[in-house]
Amino acid sequence: MSTNTAPAVEIHESGDSAVRVVAVSADPERNWETVHRLAGWLDTCDAEGLHGAVPTYDSVLVEFDPAVVSAKQLRAFVVLGLRQLGLRQLDLAGSSARGSLEFEVPVAYGGDFGPDLEKVAEQQGITVAEVIALHSAKSYTIRCMGAPAGSPMMDGPDFPLPVPRLEDPRLSVPAGAIAVAGRQAVIAPATAPGGWCVIGQTPLTVLDLGRDPLVPYRPGDTLRFRPISHGEFDGYVGSHLEALNPATLLPEVAL
Amino acid sequence: MKGRIVVEQPGNSVVTDLGRFRGPRFGLPVNGALDQFSARAANILTGNPDNAPVLEVTALDFRMRADQDLLISVTGAPLTLTVGGREQPQWEPVSVRAGEAVAIRGIHTGLRAYLAIHGSVDAPLLMGSCAPDTVVGFGLKLAEGTVLGIRRSVAPLRQPYFDIPLFRLGLERPAMGSELVVDVTDGPDVAEFGDSASLLFASGYTVSGRSNHIGLRLGGQLPERMSSAEVLSRGVPVGAVEVPNREELLVLHRGRGVTAGYPVLAVATSLGLDVLAQARPGDVVRFRKTTVAEATLAYRASMRQLESLRTTVNTVFKLLGVGDEPGWRELPPAIAI
């Protein structure tokens, strides 16, 4: 049985309690799939001493308890997982336990809701209306859950240029802030400091400590922004961000 | 009858445990007791599971009073512990009679103390952990008048034969002081710093007052990153040593944002993180290079020490009838807090 279908990765030491696995194929889309599927596999293993995996774009941080497993053993375990994924590539392609969810996020752009909107337009050399149109034009795939508080990290809108980060990061960005930086887009689920340009705000509640999971989306889900007027904002306050399509449970794929 | 502890002087204190290990997968930091060794030891000394909720008291004086007899222990930074006005030892189980004040004063040399109570206290959970998360606004931060529910009461322990201390456990305590040594391993991005990476070991770094549970900021000679290419957001380990700007070194601790885009120069070991948990502003930290294999051995040796402490404590408790009827009795559940 050949193992050359296993995804190409590098495994880097990251202290006594974590390793970083980086997918190194030439195709960013394939790398993203590799690290998320590896994280999913590690999640379902329930291996003793394994705390969990944090997948982002091309890498996954695997955390463990060094009293129970060593970095060396963990590394061997990851290689085993990759081999499993490589060999079952076809069975698993595009599938997950609950299918992909779609979200629509109403956004009040500009003014107090989006204090950096005009600056972004100026920096991009386009009008404010064009920034809004580009930002709300496409459907975004959630790439990973980032800091703070499980922010949905997405590839950014089709702006002409990358968006520079703020020179003076804000000490407090409100929950619901819609922000862009570099070639990325995000929603802030909780109030936290931030250095990204805030172009709008959603009135919806994204993070709810009373729910499990705390946020309704996960990597692989898709999301679209819909402009609303400033006057409409209050009407949405108190509503939660919910998927447009209810979760359809696909049969579990055995590994 | 319900067991209650009332916080009379909160200082800067929270109820926490070893951390929210499921959190990072969902973008929440692990958080939990910053000095894990001291938190585990406090729980073991009171016959609790390592992960039971404990009080973490940072820097400032603290006082509480219970309406039941308690068995407690206080570990972490050196301080003055008094129960009903009488001075009591740290790193030992201590009996408290109903109505007596338990006071922690004058935390010095280190920064954080851990107070465990046999049977622990009631605390709300998020994803299986009571550890506070300041970003999502979760957790039990203690204020004047906060009432903590307790589930067990332990009658005062008395050594029936001789008038000598009950426990002389002689646990090796973590190093603390104004000159600290923190072991680190090479970070996954050490190559990005070229030759300047070795600067990390050349001289000491001074802990800034702007340090907290998210990270410690340290002033000193800064290694410099060779490239300036933007890095994709990646999961960052607790203990990551980064150089985010030209002024300070940043060592991320348990409250760190789970993902970031800075290259990781080095990673503090698990034991090194306990040392950093006790670093006070103005203290000097020296980094010492180790390997992952050595760090793992050192960590396991320290865990074995805690295991042998557990064996001793459990043996003594069994002889005294603690942990078995009738040494302690279950209290009915407290009112939800």
DSSP state of B52: S
Quick one: A22 and A58 in the same domain?
Answer: yes
User: Does A216 contact B at CB distance below 8 Å?
Assistant: no
Residue A236 covered by a domain: yes
* Entry pTM: 0.90
Residue A162 covered by a domain: yes
B286: tokens are: 């020296």
DSSP state of B16: E
User: Does A18 contact B at CB distance below 8 Å?
Assistant: yes
Q: Which of A72, A192, A214 sits opposite B26 (nearest CB)?
A: A214
Quick one: A87 and A127 in the same domain?
Answer: no
Cα angle, residue A72 at apex, residues A71 and A77 outer, rounded to 5°:
95
Quick one: A20 and A120 in the same domain?
Answer: no
Per the model's pLDDT, the better-predicted residue between B322 and A227 turns out to be A227
Task: Give me the pLDDT at residue B177, please.
Answer: 84
Boundary of a domain, candidates A62, A91, A120: A91
Q: How confident is the model at residue A97 (pLDDT cuts 50, 70, 90)?
A: low
Nearest CA in chain B to A20: B188
pLDDT at B297 over 50: yes
What average pLDDT does range B177-192 have in this prediction?
Answer: 94
B98: distance to nearest CA of chain A, Å?
35
Ranges of each domain in chain B:
4-175+302-336, 179-290
- Which 101-120 residues of chain B touch chain A by CB within 8 A? none
Contact A144 B233 (CB under 8 A): yes
Quick one: A109 and A44 in the same domain?
Answer: no
Neighbours of B140 (CB within 10 A): 21
How high does pLDDT run on average in chain A? Answer: 89
Nearest CA in chain A to B234: A56
Lowest model confidence (mean pLDDT) among A109-123, A150-164, A214-228, B144-158: B144-158
Per the CB < 8 A criterion, the answer to whether A200 and A234 are in contact is: no
Quick one: A115 and A85 in the same domain?
Answer: no
pLDDT at B307 over 80: yes
pLDDT at B218 over 90: yes
pLDDT tens across A67-87, in order? 999 999 999 999 999 988 876
Residue A1 covered by a domain: no
Half-sphere exposure of residue B283, counting CA atoms within 13 Å on the CB side?
A: 24
User: Using a CB-CB distance cutoff of 8 angstroms, which residues of chain A are in contact with residue B27?
Assistant: 145-151, 215
Boundary of a domain, candidates A50, A65, A91: A91
Of the candidates A62, A55, A93, the residue with the CA atom closest to the CA atom of residue A76: A62
User: Does A9 contact B at CB distance below 8 Å?
Assistant: no
The total domain count for chain A is 2
Distance, in Å, from the CA atom of A190 to the CA atom of A202, rounded to the nearest integer, reads 12
pLDDT at A95 over 90: no
Half-sphere exposure of residue B109, counting CA atoms within 13 Å on the CB side?
A: 9
A1: distance to nearest CA of chain B, Å?
32
Task: Give me the pLDDT at residue B110, please.
Answer: 96
Quick one: A60 and A109 in the same domain?
Answer: no
Of the candidates A251, A242, A253, A252, the residue with the CA atom closest to the CA atom of residue A101: A242
Quick one: A163 and A244 in the same domain?
Answer: yes
Boundary of a domain, candidates A36, A61, A91: A91
pLDDT tens across A181-200, in order? 988 999 999 998 888 999 99
Distance, in Å, from the CA atom of A180 to the CA atom of A154, rounded to the nearest integer, reads 9
pLDDT at B175 over 80: no
Q: Which amino acid is at B326?
A: P
pLDDT at A2 over 50: no
Contact A214 B28 (CB under 8 A): yes
Quick one: A104 and A47 in the same domain?
Answer: no
Residue A43: domain span: 9-91
Quick one: A84 and A106 in the same domain?
Answer: no
pLDDT at B325 over 70: no
A32: distance to nearest CA of chain B, Å?
12
Distance, in Å, from the CA atom of A134 to the CA atom of A145, rounded to the nearest integer, reads 23
Residue A254 covered by a domain: no
Prediction ipTM score? 0.91
Per the CB < 8 A criterion, the answer to whether A20 and A71 are in contact is: no
Per the CB < 8 A criterion, the answer to whether B124 and B130 are in contact is: yes
pLDDT tens across B237-293, in order? 999 999 988 889 999 999 999 998 789 999 999 999 999 999 999 999 999 999 999
User: Using a CB-CB distance cutoff of 8 angstroms, which residues of chain A are in contact with residue B276?
Assistant: none
Of the candidates A44, A47, A45, A54, the residue with the CA atom closest to the CA atom of residue A14: A54
Task: Give me the pLDDT at residue A1, please.
Answer: 41
Of the candidates B255, B261, B258, the residue with the CA atom closest to the CA atom of residue B243: B261
First CA to last CA distance, chain A: 17
Quick one: A154 and A79 in the same domain?
Answer: no
The proportion of chain B whose per-residue pLDDT surpasses 70, expressed as a percent, equals 91
Q: Which CATH superfamily is domain B179-290 in?
A: Cyclophilin-like (2.40.100.10)
Quick one: A238 and A156 in the same domain?
Answer: yes
Task: Give me the pLDDT at residue B30, please.
Answer: 97
Quick one: A123 and A168 in the same domain?
Answer: yes
Distance, in Å, from the CA atom of A121 to the CA atom of B302, rounded to the nearest integer, reads 56
Q: How confident is the model at residue A134 (pLDDT cuts 50, 70, 90)?
A: very high
pLDDT at A239 over 70: yes
What average pLDDT does range B163-182 have in this prediction?
Answer: 73
- Angle subtended by helix axes B270-277 and B292-320, to nearest 10: 70
B18: tokens are: 């070893």
Longest dimension (CA), chain A: 63
Residue A72 covered by a domain: yes
User: Does B130 contact A at CB distance below 8 Å?
Assistant: no
CATH number at residue A51: 3.30.1360.40
Task: Give me the pLDDT at residue B166, please.
Answer: 52
pLDDT at B228 over 50: yes
CATH number at residue A241: 2.40.100.10
* Residue labelled with tokens 């340090």: B211
A131: distance to nearest CA of chain B, Å?
23
pLDDT at B230 over 80: no
